[in-house]
Structure 1
């Protein structure tokens, strides 16, 4: 057997595999001999079928099968030995004139080669790393929310500033008929608030949906209209008031603190606010990290320049999935997935350059941390190491779970790498400003 490679350019090559008779003949002969021993052909005793008949009936199928096995093994071994970093899979070149009656065979495969490039995280333009903090307003709002949540409702006669109103919104022309409960604080505009203030149970108030609520998306909740309709809805609705309640805030005392946290963990309002601040900023850290991960990823994709064997990859995509594609479909699919392909190559280069690895012990530790966190949510605060080991072992026996956890761990290790090596500038920002800047 002889394998040769012709480089078309830096990203494309053709590998030719020449297979001679001596490469496959012994194997084919042995298989046919075994067939002869077990062949059951009318007119011949088992094990006494003439070899010429066995070869006539099975010879070509066995030959094709063995040559293909030999071809795939040889090609895979060659790619490993030559340390060729290929994209997709080798594509066999069509051979309409292949003669299986010949003793010698030649096969050619197209290869798409990974591009050569380098990465330096010490980029000139610093990427912003947001540190989200809980300001006094947010903490005070959270305290008030807790007081409302653990407070009690008292029925009242008329709508006042702190009232919660239950009523039915109706507009027959727009198929609106929904009963909902909302606080007066949700209402927008002085005229709307004035119309509702002082209203009693049984009163019917006409309101216009345009800028009725501080957040237009509340129309989806209280009137049950679609997202698209909520943004442009400008109709009159009649609100029939069925119930009016005033919420009495819970006292900020030890009884409330012990309902919120472990007994004795929080003893004063100052400690409550500090606990809210700490817990909130721990949650904000996840959003900050995800934002940093997205920003660094986008920067690398846009600024690490290299070419891809686009024509090869489009051709490969035509038959890579369950359903074959035509050329146009494959081109569209390539354009959709090009950024993903680039990032996979960049990620691989980063892991190689900075020695980022995921070992089995890393996976086990990561799995146990997740298990411990989930158990804590159900009040199991001190599971034994044996219990954690047993659950982790069951999880890591599932291939899909191993893949999912590995991807999580790679992202975590890369995030740590970016924080340590990338050129970052820290910007402190309140949660409200963070949301306005990136999600409004």
Structure 2
């Protein structure tokens, strides 16, 4: 088991956050569903993004890496070849899995999806119901991800509840415009994570696909459309920038490059939440956050920004009063049960957090004690949250399984050290 010792030290300096993982997934898929050649720039080769790249290659795209640039020849290019039977290894990427399941049904042959970690526990019933309705052949293995699919998706009406992962809706949005007939996606309840749907529609529009959005209640999709090849640059990632913005709210001085204030990313909500808690932002050439007075509690709705909840919980744990986080139940089926992980690990450090079925109740303390071993739960966002927590611990902490940050931000600890973070390799034994 790998460990890292992190001592109390404030972070200071300028950092370029990785490109948006959400937008990179989408841009790679849109480019790879074309028939021509696209250039997608500002790519960070995290485990999740590599899974999507490899997945689209398995489906017939040709993708060449050159530094942070991808040259993508779309899967519908007449010269491209694909195997009649192919395997897509999603690793631990829920986005890769849920985006590419319907996409794979654009092509003849059989596709097998495999993965590891908690991915096999993530529900896919939404797709299974579609398979049954359309007579698409599939088989699964209980308890792990081993999904085989064979068939071609047909256009039509698809009714989905709004409280499922938006990844299902995005997967269908990618696919349906390429079918011969027109389609409609009907959302039967209030749609959560609208921001992620906005990202999908924006990226598809950039690649020439038009979809009518009727107030997130239904999506009207004309068939026989084609993705248009183009050059595209991926913007910086607010879900990663949130760690440094929260560090700023907790006393560090970090300027963050490459975050767009006009971004459609749902995780940009970190700015509004921190402002409610008393933080101030400098929106010059780079974005930074600081707190002049003590932070205060607030009510936080996690439905539209689940990925920033771990680090926002840390800020709440060091804010005056009682903070409640609601509508965050989906965090239980991420890379780990993030609600339980937050409570378990931050309470070890001296926080006072209560676990609820759909959220958390947090009673603020002035400082964290530290001086203990904590565990990442092999979840990248938990590992990074604990590293930011160390900047407010009286004593050093040891983070076990810290290398899971490779899932989304492989150089996180390099950047952390560059900003003045005091970190040391630590032998955990067997």
Q: Scaled by the length of structure 1, what TM-score is found?
A: 0.20
Higher helix share: 1
Higher strand share: 2
> Of the two structures, which has the highest relative contact order with CA contacts closer than 8 Å and spacing of 6 or more?
2
Please identify the structure whose Cα radius of gyration is greater: 1
